[in-house]
A and B are shown apart, each in its own frame.
Chain A
Amino acid sequence: MADTTPMSFDAAVLTEPRGPKPRRRLSRRNIFLYGTLLLVSVYYLLPLYVMVVTSLKGMPEIRMGNIFSPPVEITFEPWVRAWSEACTGINCDGLSRGFGNSVRILIPSVALSITIASINGYALANWRFKGSEVFFTILIFGAFIPYQTMLYPIVILLRELGLMGSIGGLVLVHTIFGMPILTLLFRNYFTSIPEELFKAARVDGAGFWGIYFRIMLPMSLPIFVVAMILQVTGIWNDFLFGVIYTKPATYPMTVQLNNIVNSTQGVKEYNVNMAATLLTGLVPLVIYFISGKLFVRGIAAGAVKG
């Protein structure tokens, strides 16, 4: 596992298909092939479609029509309400607060985790010391340990540090749990850089930090982008750590969304709920559609984490 290069997953997107080529345009086989793919596509696209359609309808229309029909009268009111008025408990200031929290969690978490992991990966690839591989192996196997077994010790740790319930505490948690996969990602990337380059830099008198900043960093932009995609989507989508290590005032967007939609009080406003759900999913979706192949690389690397 430690030697699984995420790069090998590039094969999925960067190389030509290898399977047998369908010969005629409209053979029975082709109809079957594209038919199946289209059918499956419907299954995958349906929820997104339903969410969008529902979020653009008024409540009366939802109660009368079916969820698949397009809105007769498009309204953006649910989106506005989801953003600024939806209630969680006694707070009725909408998802904007959760969004703000998520951003305030996301930026330092991504920066800190990538900084630490890239330096770790660099040390593991180029400056091995006695025991470094042992720590790395523990780290990687740690990624497979169910989070549940580490949840409470971290509560104690955060309490001792005075960070329990704060955004800083959650940043630390994300940095810790992002470390295995990111370290693996960077270690494998730095290992793939020819060792002679590192040797040349040492002969040229550059030290640990000199080589990191002057030689390795400028060569590693793509992997930093991959790591960022991985972390931004992962941290944004996190629910478990958010719900455990923050308090209502600092809840990230996912937790607040769940509280809004699954709130047992009041009348269910399905259109507002779907608008809120879409708002929460928007950030990773935008990243997904913009980054394309890099995203595949990122999740394939993240897949090792499981």
Chain B
Amino acid sequence: MDSSKRPNRLFRNLSAKIASIPMILTAVVVFLGGTAWTVIYSFTGSRLLPKLKFVGFDQYERLWSSRRWMISIENLAVYGICSLILTLLLGFTLAALLDRKIRFENTFRTIFLYPFALSFVVTGLAWQWILNPDFGIQGVVRGWGWESFSFDPLNNPDIVIYGILIAGLWQGTGLVMVIMLAGLRGIDEDIWKATRVDGIGLFKTYTRVVVPMMRPVFVTALVIIASGIIKLYDLVVAQTNGGPGIASEVPAKYVINYMFRAQNLGQGFAASTMMLVSVIIILVPWAYLEFGGKKHG
């Protein structure tokens, strides 16, 4: 090759390009292509097999008039709001407690985090057992002589989602605690000294000084919790399988039921597109704050 000529751009860095083929295929074909495919087919009347027979917004109309979907959405909203608030609150409180130069910090951290290592299925089944009305908490308290005691969330359609929430919190708080702990450790020690010198009380120091300084950490935690909430599926399947009746259905389960059980692909696609839309609604402002803001700052 004549070295005075610029080599063909396509062949420059060829090994890197070849090595990146799996990544490119995944990004373009599966992630972009797959998502676009699903969105497009959500406007079709596909049932057992995908067919390009467009029916406009029919699937969406049917979706939003379905009681099962409305319950799913309502459940996700309750679960989402509660889990968001409680996970942040608990996670931060635990992190703040662990950050106070305590003994056995490692032991406590290990205890708070181990549920995160487990499968949602394991978590769901464990809590299904603990909340078992005959042998679990209710049964035990009744056995102590308090016969009228009632705590049976998994069989009560009105509160079943809180039964799932208890398990979800158990599994997920540890992670948020670790993130918060990292954030707390990132705060300059001089800040603590300054608040001591200024005579600011402990509670005020946390709420007025520390938390505002940890804004980016809270945002990260928020995004993590939020995207986890939308994916809520395994836990419900294991703990209640959507029951009693359809009282604990969630959108992710709705999608899978329609796609793989009810053989109504169009409904599944429409429901999953709605999930995508909700993720975009969460993600876009966050991405804007995180990346758009920096350019101007």
Give Cα A289 to B113, complex, Å: 10
A194 at interface by CB-CB < 8 Å:
no
Q: Are A138 and B275 interface neighbours, CB within 8 A?
A: no
Among residues 103 to 134 in chain B, which have CB atoms less than 8 Å away from a CB atom of chain A?
A: 105, 108-123, 125-130, 132
Q: Are B22 and A18 interface neighbours, CB within 8 A?
A: no
Q: Across the interface, which residues of A come within 8 angstroms of B186, CB to CB?
A: 8, 11
Q: Across the interface, which residues of A come within 8 angstroms of B28, CB to CB?
A: 135, 138
> With contacts A19-B184, A154-B30 known, is A37 near B114, CB below 8 A?
no
> With contacts A15-B185, A120-B23 known, is A44 near B112, CB below 8 A?
yes
Selected interface stretch from B10-18, B53-61, B65-73: B10-18
B255 at interface by CB-CB < 8 Å:
yes
A91 at interface by CB-CB < 8 Å:
no
Q: Separation in Å of the A73 CB from the closest CB of chain B?
A: 17
> With contacts A153-B37, A258-B238 known, is A44 near B114, CB below 8 A?
yes
- With both beta carbons as reference points, the residue of chain A lying nearest to B115 in the complex is identified as A44
Q: Are A129 and B16 interface neighbours, CB within 8 A?
A: yes
B80 at interface by CB-CB < 8 Å:
no
B92 at interface by CB-CB < 8 Å:
no
Q: Across the interface, which residues of A come within 8 angstroms of B248, CB to CB?
A: none
Q: Are B119 and A239 interface neighbours, CB within 8 A?
A: yes
Q: Are B114 and A148 interface neighbours, CB within 8 A?
A: no
Q: Separation in Å of the A57 CB from the closest CB of chain B?
A: 11
Q: Across the interface, which residues of B come within 8 angstroms of A299, CB to CB?
A: 113, 116-117, 175, 178
B268 at interface by CB-CB < 8 Å:
yes
B244 at interface by CB-CB < 8 Å:
no
Q: Across the interface, which residues of A come within 8 angstroms of B259, CB to CB?
A: 151-152
Interface centre among B16, B125, B230, B271, by most chain A C-beta atoms within 10 angstroms, is B125
Q: Are A277 and B255 interface neighbours, CB within 8 A?
A: no
Which residue of B96, B182, B184, B256 contacts A148 across the interface (Cβ within 8 Å)?
A: B256
Q: Across the interface, which residues of A come within 8 angstroms of B127, CB to CB?
A: 47
Give Cα A288 to B234, complex, Å: 21
Q: Are B34 and A153 interface neighbours, CB within 8 A?
A: yes
Q: Across the interface, which residues of B come within 8 angstroms of A130, CB to CB?
A: 9
> With contacts A17-B101, A20-B100, A236-B119 known, is A149 near B22, CB below 8 A?
no
Q: Are B117 and A258 interface neighbours, CB within 8 A?
A: no
Q: Are A300 and B118 interface neighbours, CB within 8 A?
A: no
Interface 1/0s, chain B 32-63, versus A by CB < 8 A?
11110111010000000010000000000000
A227 at interface by CB-CB < 8 Å:
no
A296 at interface by CB-CB < 8 Å:
yes
B82 at interface by CB-CB < 8 Å:
no
Q: Are A12 and B100 interface neighbours, CB within 8 A?
A: no
- With both beta carbons as reference points, the residue of chain B lying nearest to A69 in the complex is identified as B140
Give Cα A10 to B233, complex, Å: 30
Question: Which of the four size classes fits the interface of chain B?
Answer: 35 or more
> With contacts A135-B23, A153-B38 known, is A129 near B17, CB below 8 A?
yes
A224 at interface by CB-CB < 8 Å:
no
Q: Are B269 and A258 interface neighbours, CB within 8 A?
A: no
> With contacts A33-B102, A296-B113 known, is A239 near B96, CB below 8 A?
no
Q: Are A144 and B30 interface neighbours, CB within 8 A?
A: no
Interface 1/0s, chain B 157-190, versus A by CB < 8 A?
0000000000000100011001101101111010
Which residue of A11, A54, A139, A255 contacts B31 across the interface (Cβ within 8 Å)?
A: A139
- With both beta carbons as reference points, the residue of chain B lying nearest to A122 in the complex is identified as B19
Q: Are B252 and A47 interface neighbours, CB within 8 A?
A: no
Which residue of A51, A135, A149, A295 contacts B27 across the interface (Cβ within 8 Å)?
A: A135
Q: Are A148 and B255 interface neighbours, CB within 8 A?
A: yes
B24 at interface by CB-CB < 8 Å:
yes
A71 at interface by CB-CB < 8 Å:
no
Q: Are B97 and A36 interface neighbours, CB within 8 A?
A: yes
Q: Separation in Å of the B237 CB from the closest CB of chain A?
A: 7
Among residues 3 to 53 in chain A, which have CB atoms less than 8 Å away from a CB atom of chain B?
A: 4, 8-13, 15-22, 33-34, 36-37, 40-41, 43-48, 50-51
- With both beta carbons as reference points, the residue of chain A lying nearest to B237 in the complex is identified as A258
Q: Across the interface, which residues of B come within 8 angstroms of A289, CB to CB?
A: 110, 114
A213 at interface by CB-CB < 8 Å:
no
Q: Across the interface, which residues of B come within 8 angstroms of A50, CB to CB?
A: 126, 129-130
Interface 1/0s, chain A 82-121, versus B by CB < 8 A?
0000000000000000000000000000000000100110
Interface centre among A13, A54, A123, A149, by most chain B C-beta atoms within 10 angstroms, is A149
Beyond A44-B115, A127-B13, 18 additional pairs, beta carbon < 8 A: A11-B182, A12-B178, A16-B185, A20-B192, A43-B170, A44-B114, A48-B126, A116-B23, A130-B9, A135-B23, A146-B252, A147-B231, A152-B38, A153-B38, A207-B15, A237-B119, A239-B238, A240-B256
Give the B-binding residues of A (Cβ under 8 A): 1, 4, 8-13, 15-22, 33-34, 36-37, 40-41, 43-48, 50-51, 54, 62-63, 66-68, 116, 119-120, 122-124, 127-130, 132, 135-136, 138-139, 141-142, 144-154, 156-157, 175-176, 179, 183, 207-209, 233, 236-240, 244, 254-255, 257-258, 261-262, 270, 273-274, 277, 280-281, 284-285, 287-289, 292, 295-296, 299-300, 303-304, 306
List 26 interface pairs A-B (beta carbons < 8 Å), by A numbering: A8-B182, A11-B181, A18-B184, A33-B100, A33-B102, A41-B108, A44-B111, A44-B112, A46-B130, A48-B114, A116-B23, A123-B19, A129-B12, A139-B26, A142-B30, A142-B32, A144-B283, A149-B34, A149-B276, A152-B268, A179-B26, A239-B121, A239-B233, A239-B238, A258-B237, A273-B125
The 4 closest A-B pairs by CB, nearest first: A142-B31, A306-B227, A208-B15, A127-B16
